[in-house]
Amino acid sequence: MVLADLGSKLSQTLKKITSASKIDDVFLTEVLNEITMALLSADVKFEHVARLTTSVRTQVTLFMKKEGKYTNMKKIIRQTVVEELTNILNTEKTPYEFKRGKSQVVMFVGLQGAGKTTTTTKFAYHYIRKGWKVALVCCDTWRAGAFDQLQQNAAKIRCAFYGNPKEKNPVTIASEGVEIFKQEKYEIIIVDTSGRHMQEDKLFEEMKEINEAIDPEENVFVMDGSIGQACYDQALAFRSAVNVGSVIITKLDGHAKGGGALSAVAATDSPIIFLGVGETFDDLEPFEPKSFIKRLLG
């Protein structure tokens, strides 16, 4: 299944419920099977899927006992599906909370083109506007133009910046940048790493080395919300390389509904903190699980 279809599949099933003339047990089983298949194909954990279906059945039974008829049943089913999908996104793990007056390092990882460099800048801008002392470090020595891109972004949002286009070792750059900004008492030091292609083990190795050298308080995994392939595998690969603590899904301003978000959460066991909703630096929205699910279901 193409994962970008998860949202469309779920909303199709919910529309089927809305337009049904009668909801009986056979029909309920059929739509719950559809929802189950869609979620399992997106690698949402079985326990979550099982909880969703049990919960819908329980609510339907309770409703029938109370009302004795099927009127308004559709609303109950939809509400329960929304609640349970929202629960999947409300992970037990909470995102790292920055503390004032302390230097904290946050490393951004993700595939090339996911929007990582843009997102580091948006993230920096978000905190600068709240009065935090923020710095950006570019240790992407792999992609031509990465240094210039982040340097220019940093200048636009008036953020401190460190990079060294002459140095080829990203571990050295990351360590130097973090050290300098720690000495200068920056509170949030954001490290932008090389965007990677999935097949490149060497680049994953490099990411691990940077991670070991700078020992960040938080690793943020940036994922393109419009990709139509296996988000789960991608998120899992990053989760296996470094300890991902939170997730940002980008490019949700276009047609993408972001069904891959459920897979990213399932793979990393980490909360989504922001959504990227455009190319400018204030196009970063704090993540709201419930409104995200409502949008996903259309």
Contacting residues toward ligand GDP, per CB under 6 A? 110, 112-118, 195, 250-251, 253-254, 276-279, 283
For ligand GDP, the closer of residues 35 and 260 by Cβ is 260
Least distance CB 136 / ligand GDP (angstroms): 12
User: Which residue lies nearer to ligand GDP by CB, 195 or 216?
Assistant: 195
Contact 123, 189 (CB under 8 A): no
Q: Which helix (H) or strand (E) holds 247?
A: strand 246-250
- Min dist. Cβ of residue 161 to ligand GDP (A): 15
Q: How far is the CB of 139 from ligand GDP (least distance, A)?
A: 12
- H/E element, 138: strand 134-138
Residue 216 CB, nearest approach to ligand GDP (Å): 18
Q: For residues 133 and 251, which CB has a smaller minimum distance to ligand GDP in the complex? A: 251
Contact 293, 89 (CB under 8 A): yes
Spatial distance between the Cα atoms of 178 and 216, rounded to a whole number of angstroms:
10
Residue closer to ligand GDP, measured from CB, 114 or 189: 114
